[in-house]
Structure 1
Amino acid sequence: MMSPEVVQLLREGIAALGGKNYLEAERNFRLAELINSDNCLIRIKVGTIYAQHGDFEQAKKYLLEALALEPNNITISYNLGLVFAMENNNEEALHYYDLAIKTDPNNIETLINKALVLNELKRYEEAIVTINSVIRLNPNIAEAWSNLGVSYRHLSRYAESLDSYNRALQLNPKLPTTLFNKGLVLNLLKQFSEAFECFKAFIQIQPNHAQGWLYLAHAQEELNLLNEALRSYDEGLRLDPSYPEAWSNRGNLLGKLSRQEEAIPSYDNAINLRPEYCSPWVNKGHTLFELNKHKEALQCYQKAFEIDPNFDYLIGALVHSMMRMCDWIKSDRLTKKIFSESSKNKKLISPFFILGLTDRLTLQKKAAEIYAENTGPKEALPLLSPRNNDDNKIRLGYLSADFCMHPVAILTAEIFELHDRNRFEVYGFSSKKNNADKMQQRLRASFDQFIDVDTLSDIEIANKFRSMKIDIAIDLGGFTNGSRTRALAYRAAPIQINYLGFPGTMGSSYIDYIIGDQVVIPENLKDSYSEKIIYLPNSYQANDSKRKISEIVFSRQDFSLPEGAFVFCCFNSPYKITQQSFSSWLMILKESPSSVLWLLEDEIDISYNLRSEAEKKGINPNRLIFTGRLPQEEYLARYRLADLFLDTHPFNAGTTASDALWSGLPVLTYPGEAFASRMASSLLSALNLPELIANSEQDYINLAVEFANIPGKTLLVRDRLASNRLSSPLFDSQLFTKHLESGLTQAHERYCNNLVAADIKINP
């Protein structure tokens, strides 16, 4: 027992410590020591008091003095363990816990704290052994089960981790640390609904915990609860704005909400907090690219590449950004790196970006396989049985982010209207909120039902398809911006088809068919596609026979085109113009002195780069003439001013080639190996214009020069195009829809007869 005088001195010492009067506190504690005969007890008490006030050096001094007096005193060694743990000296903490356990092997409190230190030291297997000894002594300690869950989580033994957390929560349903850590495991397992519930419960207990809000935001975002996620990010960052990862994620979320301009400051906050953090540089680049600020986007990608050249898909984005600017100085070296390392299963380039770099199917398929493997869910929903069609109608579900004035919608609008409603029900699933322009109004009226699913998560979209008993899901986006192909990875419908938006193989097991033709996918190349092929008899491409061309009669003067010149044109997106394609065009200009080249210009750097390249090759840069974008009907009318459309390689014109041909302008192309490099050849074959399909790059150059230099050659092919345009199958929307429906019906019949997917050939 301590005398009243000693107790008073200890109280005065504690008060002095609270007032930060350290000399007075020390004087009182030493006086208490002198008065009390039990010096060890005083030292333990004083050491503990110092520890509680955060003065670990003084705490250790007193406790070590006490330990010297009583080496086997478990209280002293245990408290020393606590003090060393509090200052993150975990090795020393472990030493003193072991000293205490040597004296009392069954001291539960010491064992629990030892396990905590072992987890901090990443000695998880030893921590598990220690915690299990606690559980054998008393299985009803929630904290022990919770700590066991932490050890299992760090060893990636997630099932055992979840089981441990659940045992802890059975004992104490409101244990906040356990709720938080269980949420972390569920996040790792992509079980976001369950993770959401954990973090929501955690926040109710600890509403001022910033990380809790931020992890809740992540789960909400994965569940596509985007506005709720934004509120959670904002609350978490209000409580603690020092998380660069959270700022970067908030920027990504704003992008999903189509609030790209607002996303930029979030990325800047992340960069300011940690300038060498690669992710916000990359994501800021993506956002600037979407905002058509391509020069600024390129600068962000370049900075990110300096920080981490191995960041997932960064090198592909960097090359694509350079291509978008027609800046080829460094892109060639980086492209070679992509090709040389493609076999190493590295996440180098998105499947869409590689279409513009090569026509080699092996490289395209490998990029698609890697991307599909790393972006899809680990497990799909159970397979569906064939639906009992009481009305004998096949339910088609078209999934697209582009149900608006977009190339995909421009081509497909009429087939939705023409589908035979006696045989099909046709549903449009819009996965992105777009402006309700005239095209969207037309599309909404063309479907039996038009369903907005932009606010749904991927699995919710899949379940929406399933609940509506869709028989065939047709993905019009594939691996393109804004698409929700991942919903199909959950197996949204019994039959799933890739069509039009992504002209290549998806490299995945969850897409059963791709719609093509004998030109875009020749028989000898079909094994390079992961899908089975529905071969349409003429061209794979749908077209809208209702498309209007403006009655405005433009003059060449309206676009600064010289009178009397032969006008080559290409209005493909600039990223399709490779250095090789442009070199071919410059050779054509060189061999046809009276010609000019008319191109699309989205920003001034494109024209500057291309004119500089022309000047280097001895071509007058003024022979390159640039134009901007126009409303659809006027854009089509503008084609009448050109003499010949020069296609790009390896990524051909698709919708743009149809635009030119529909307007009466011949298109010159040469095919490669891949789907995207054979699209224009498909259109020209359907129009019976084989003379516009070159056999090689050199043949392409020679033919272009002949068209420019031989009077009347272009007029003859124009006349043939005018004659064939309305009589050939390409622009016969009713015939195309009939053939498409035949392919879809045969695919459905195979499924209903329990036959696996197989190539389907539709007769003319």
Structure 2
Amino acid sequence: MTQNRSAVATLLADAKQLITENRYDEAVSRCLSACQLSPDLSDPWIELAAIYLRQQRYEQSLQAVAQIMTAGESQKVRLQLIAAAALRGLGRYAEASQAIDTALNLAPGDPRVINSKVGILLAQRRYTDALPLVENLLNSEPTHLEGYLNLGIVLQGLGRSDEALTAFDRLLEIKPDHASALMNRSSVLVTLARPQEALQAADAALAMQPDALIALLNKTAALLALKRPREALTVSERLLRLNSRHGKGLINKIIALLDLGNFPEALATALNALTFDSYNPDLLGLKIQALLGLNRFAEAQADCQRILAKHPDRIVVKLSLAKALVGLGSSSVAISTVDVILAAIPHHPEAASLKADLLVGRNEWETAATLIKAALVQHPDQAQLWVAQSALLLSKERYTEALTATERALALDPNHLQATVNQMAALNSLQRFTEALAAGQTLIAQQTPDWQLYANQGAALAGSERFADARQAFATAEALDQKAFRAFRWRQEVYGIASDALLPDIDPYAEFLAFKVAKLEHCYWRSCEAVLARATALIEENLAQGQLTPLPPFKALSLPLSPELTRAMAQSRGTFLNNGMAAPRQALAFSYPNAITDRLKIGYVSADFREHPTAHLMRGLFSRHDRQQFEIFVYALCKDDGSDYYQRIKTDADQFVDLTALSNAEAATRIHADGIHILVDLMGYTGYARSEIFALQPAPIQVSYLGYPGTLGAPFIPYILADNVVLPEPLRPYFTEKPVYLPECYQVNDDSQEIAATGIQRRDVGLPETGFVFCCFNKPAKIDPVLFAVWMQILAQVPSSVLWLLAANDEITTHLRNEAEAQGITGERLIFAQRLPKSQHLERHRLADLFLDTRLYNAHTTASDALWAGLPVLTCLGNTFPSRVAASLLQAVGLPELITHSLEEYQAQAIHLATTPAELRSLRTKLAYNRTRMPLFDTSRFTRHLEEAYRLMWDRHARGLPPTLLRVTPLPSDA
């Protein structure tokens, strides 16, 4: 018997040594041997039960406890503790509590028993019940380590994170290397959004326990919060090697993969996790995010709806549903979904940001700005709202304010990706390229897979004339997301981009010139001549190599470039479109009617049937067409913006067709199926145009009109509508189209425009009560330094006069006032008008005395507005189509005396009229009389002339003759 006891003691000593080496299976073997030698002894069974407990083999631990026949008083307490721990591990909390209560009867003040009781309560999340036990323990033993550990866990469970942190810190003051305290401390720091400190605490714990799951989990969470997803992924994979089914570990891995843009692997990981945790809404939500990243919107929508059927209040899923709906083209439903969130949680930051983005997509800028402003009042500490604010300001070209908004966002979240992107965009727009590159340097060094980063990096490099590097950055952006990158760079964010759009590679020359020309358009003219020279050189270089023009043809119309060059630029674009659509055009193989018909089908195509100058001019046209001879089709490339213009045009068309959701081939097929005889391009190469539709030639006759005052250089547009003033014979060689001359004036005008009668006074808009008011409500991009100098000379010669301009942003206002000061005119003599609804805008014209036209690109709709409101317009006849439009308008309204032929004459006439009140009054009286009697504002007469132009074109086609110059004979004056 004595020999057996000695052998048992040796075996138990070996087992204890093996436990210190974490060799639990061998320790179990030693204990079992000891139990076989002396089955009646309690010590081997107690040690065996304790080892099983360490291995989380709870049933075996309880079985070992059951083998003990007798035990001493001290052993009985330990047995109850082991049994309670095993029962807790099995989730049998009531039995565990009974075991602990037995131990408490045996040892009422034993800290081990109290902490075990607390542990059972913690497992049941009964934090309120546990708190007094822990506090009583620490009152009696102020340095009890496990007491502080449990106190911290209890306080954390009660949401008292700051107090929990204090408890863990107190423990660590006593024992700095307490691994559990470090792990729990890191958990609290993650909760408190103090990720850097959480990372340090987790690393300290891992230094002692390299495989501690809680420490690995906290380290992953901290790295994710620090926007270090690549490191977070590595740590999460280390955790999952220890426990491949660790739920939170899998979730963190998926989040890291999503942050890295690795959507395929994120989806695969989520699907794998869902095989053994299929109802976890967090996993389902991450799966949805991966599907959104892969543009699998229909699947994402279906998953969102499944989750919301069971969990209707999950905000994150509702937001994901809205994003899926946007991807599916259902922006209206998406807004309704977001509105549900905002109704429940007003000013919810992410919901407000998403809705603002959707509103911008509908051109509802002011509503979006109001929404974000209100949300910021409630949540000024939310970085994503400042990001949304910066995006709105960028869209309005308020770059300095946008930069400030990004700085606010980055102060709150230094690693915010979109904030960094928007900061780069603002710096680029301010042409602070070195700073833009520095702003994105860290994220690019981390190989953050976001196309926007590289797009803005490419822009900064192009702006710095590092063209080869820029080309590489653009290639990286395109590789990451070709569709998004190209749509953004080609300025098609609002209405999206057709799936079969022709999008050339981004040319660094184009990006460079975009920045330089933008400076000119913002009235910063210090290097104007150098910019024009550089632009000309780069354009000629590309054209000589058979490449596209790096400056959009529309931009060229506002610059003093030669007509030969502007025609070549347009032709480069026309050739690109014609060649690019050759294969689909051949595949569609449209055939056309060519018979004489009593009723022509006319199709008008535009993205501007909305609150836009084109619609302002055309609104009255569609209802005036002779329905006996014409059937009118309106093809909209824009969504309903809620304006009266959109609604009126839609109502007045025989058929109004929204093409926004169709590809170019589908749109052309629809137009051809409608049997259109003459298709009218109202856009040319302006924003949101879809010239590919015309390149597919869905109609036998295609004509350019109104929106683009220049040649398109495109073989698929053989005609342009014009008049003798805007397109005289000397300019014809610079047009590839055959002109169809309308009599009197080529520009349609609406004779039903409302003029408000609010009784507005000069003082209401910041104008002086007395003195002469010159005005020009053209957009500032039309003002050039040569003309501005003439304006300043006019102001100098007309004392007490002011110049009333249309405000755009503070940067332009500052530039213009600085230019005025440099030419001896105080900046205060330039007064800037804010935008108003159209009827009120027309009314305020009556506060001015004389409209001064711009020279390179005249007032077009703007001149019609002034004349309709009764304000005389003084223009200088140029030598290009866009510089002769105001002269055409003045001729048609019977005021040729306001057409000058040189800047010297223009300046002299402006001064003369300003200093000869009687003559100016006479002109105003004449304009008031002519306005309703001369052809300019006779919409019905204009419509008859336009219809005759259509007949002439169709008659020639029906006779099998090629396009040629055509002239419409004017109706009798009394018709």
TM-score (norm 1): 0.63
2:685 equivalent in structure 1: 479
1:726 aligns with 2:932: yes
Q: Does 1:459 align with 2:656?
A: no
Counterpart among 748, 755, 762 of residue 542 in structure 1: 748
Q: Which residue of 1 aligns with 2:898?
A: 692
Residue type at the aligned position of 1:467: A
Aligned to 1:300: 428
Q: List per-residue Cα deviations over 1:517-566 (Å, max 9, x = no partner).
A: 00000012112111111100111100011111111222111112112211
Superposed CA offset, 1:472-507 (max 9, x none)? 111111111112222111112111111111111111
Structure 1 distance, partners of 2:550, 2:698, is 28
Deviation, 1:567, is 0.5
Counting only pairs closer than 5 Å after superposition, residues 114-193 of structure 1 correspond to structure 2 as none
Instruction: Find the residue that maps to 1:675 and give its secondary structure.
Output: coil
**One-letter amino acid of the structure 2 residue matched with residue 318 of structure 1:** F
Q: Describe the shift of the 1:231–1:643 C-alpha distance in structure 2 as closer, same or farther (beyond 3 A).
A: closer
1:256 Cα deviation from its structure 2 partner: 11
2:770 pairs with one of 564, 573, 597: 564
Q: Distance in 1 between matches of 2:660 and 2:912?
A: 50
Residue 504 of structure 1 pairs with residue 710 of structure 2: yes
**Does 2:571 match 1:369?**
yes
Counterparts of 1:288 and 1:317 in 2: how far apart (Å)?
A: 19
Write the mapping of 1:151-550 to structure 2, written as runs, cut at 5 A: 230=327, 290-293=395-398, 299-301=427-429, 302=431, 303=433, 304=458, 306-308=460-462, 309=465, 310=467, 311-344=508-541, 345=543, 347-358=549-560, 360-375=562-577, 377-379=580-582, 381-382=585-586, 384-387=590-593, 392-550=598-756
8 Å contact from structure 1 (residues 359, 677) kept in 2: no
Shift of residue 656, structure 1, vs aligned partner? 0.2
Tell me the secondary structure at the aligned position of residue 955 of structure 2. Answer: helix
One-letter identity of the residue aligned with 1:329? R
Report if aligned partners of 1:359, 1:674 keep a CA contact under 8 Å in 2.
no
Amino acid at match of 2:752: K
Match of residue 736 from structure 1: 942
Alignment identity in percent? 37
SS at match of 1:585: helix
- Alpha-carbon distance change, 260 to 567 in structure 1, aligned in 2, over 3 angstroms: closer
Structure 1 residue 217: Cα displacement: 8.7
C-alpha change, 1:689 and 1:491, in structure 2 (3 Å) is same
User: Is the contact made by 2:743 and 2:968 (CA closer than 8 Å) also made in structure 1?
Assistant: yes
Q: Give the structure-2-normalised TM-score.
A: 0.50
Query: Aligned in 2, Cα 1:217/1:618: closer, same or farther, shift over 3 Å?
Result: farther
Q: How does 1:539-688 map to 2 (within 5 A)?
A: 539-688=745-894
> Alignment partner of 1:651: what SS?
coil
Hey, what's the Cα distance between the residues in 2 that align with 1:588 and 1:425? Answer: 50
Aligned positions, number: 517
What displacement does 1:390 show? 9.4
Shift of 1:215: 9.7
- SS of equivalent residue, structure 1 residue 414: coil
Alpha-carbon contact 2:362-2:641 (below 8 Å) kept: no
Select the residue among 942, 951, 956 that pairs with 1:750: 956
Distance in structure 1 (CA, Å) of the matches to 2:592 and 2:534:
46
Structure 1 543/571 Cα, relative in aligned 2: closer, same or farther at 3 Å?
Answer: same
Compared with structure 1, are the counterparts of its residues 393 and 228 closer, same or farther at alpha carbon in structure 2 (3 Å cutoff)?
A: same
CA 1:419–1:294 in structure 2 vs 1: closer, same or farther (change >3 Å)? farther
1:716 CA drift (Å): 1.6
Is the contact made by 1:533 and 1:759 (CA closer than 8 Å) also made in structure 2?
Answer: yes
Q: Structure 1: where are the runs of 5+ without partners?
A: 1-199, 219-225, 233-252, 264-283
1:713 paired to 2:922: no
- Describe the superposition over 1:308-345 as per-residue Cα deviations: whole angstroms up to 9, x where unpaired: 24515223422342233222234442222112343331
**Code of the aligned partner of 1:342:** I
State how far apart, in whole Å, the 1-side matches of 2:703 and 2:512 are.
29
**Aligned residue in 2 for 1:147:** none
Q: Secondary structure at the match of 2:635?
A: strand
Partners of 1:716 and 1:416 in 2: how far apart?
Answer: 35
Looking at structure 2, the residues matched to 540 and 289 of structure 1 have their Cα atoms a distance apart, in angstroms, of 36
Displacement of 1:431:
0.7
Matched to 2:585, the amino acid is: L
Distance 1:214 1:372, change over 3 A: farther
Shift in Å, 1:701 = 0.9
1:339 counterpart SS class: helix
Three-state SS of the structure 1 residue aligned to 2:835 is coil
CA apart distance, 1:628? 0.2
Q: Contact between 2:594 and 2:957, CA under 8 Å: does it hold in 1? A: no
Could you tell me which runs of 5 or more consecutive residues in structure 2 were left unpaired when the two chains were aligned.
Answer: 1-263, 273-288, 298-322, 330-356, 369-388, 403-424, 434-457, 468-507, 971-975
Residues 386 and 751 of structure 1 are in contact (CA less than 8 Å); yes or no, is this contact kept in structure 2? no
- The amino acid of 1:584's aligned partner reads V
Q: CA, structure 1 residues 553+673, in 2 after alignment: closer, same or farther (shift >3 Å)?
A: same
Q: Using the alignment, how far apart are the partners of 1:578 and 1:285 within structure 2?
A: 29
Letter of the 1:451 counterpart: V
Amino acid at match of 1:642: A
Give deviations 1:603-636, integer Å, cap 9, x for gaps.
Answer: 2222111111111111111111111011111100
**Offset at residue 439 of structure 1 (A):** 1.4
- Classify the secondary structure of the residue corresponding to 1:381: helix
CA distance in 2 between counterparts of 1:404 and 1:289 reads 22
Q: CA deviation at 1:704?
A: 0.7
State whether residues 509 and 538 of structure 2, in contact with CA within 8 Å, keep that contact through their aligned partners in structure 1: no
Q: Aligned pair in 2 of structure 1 residues 390, 652: CA closer, same or farther (>3 Å)?
A: closer
Residues 292 and 324 in structure 2, CA contact (< 8 A), matched pair in contact too:
no
Q: For the structure 1 residues 601 and 339, does the alpha-carbon distance in structure 2 shift closer, same or farther, using more than 3 Å as the test?
A: same
For the Cα contact (< 8 Å) 2:740–2:966, is it kept in 1? yes
Q: Which string of whole-angstrom CA distances, capped at 9 and with x for unpartnered residues, describes residues 238-261 of structure 1?
A: xxxxxxxxxxxxxxx999966999
SS at match of 1:477: coil
After TM superposition, give the deviation of residue 728 of structure 1 in Å.
0.7
SS for the counterpart of 1:561 is: coil
Residue by residue, what CA displacement relative to the aligned partner does 1:161-194 show, whole Å, maximum 9, x if unpaired?
Answer: xxxxxxxxxxxxxxxxxxxxxxxxxxxxxxxxxx
CA distance in structure 2 between the aligned counterparts of 1:614 and 1:721, rounded to whole angstroms:
31
Distance 1:555 1:324 in 2: 31
Tell me how far apart the structure 2 counterparts of residues 587 and 520 of structure 1 sit (CA, whole Å): 28
CA distance, structure 2, for counterparts of residue 649 and residue 476 of structure 1: 23
Q: Distance in 1 between matches of 2:631 and 2:691?
A: 21
Of 379-388 and 648-657, the range deviating more from structure 2: 379-388
Note the C-alpha offset of 1:365. 1.4
* C-alpha distance 338-434 of structure 1, shift in aligned 2 (>3 A): farther
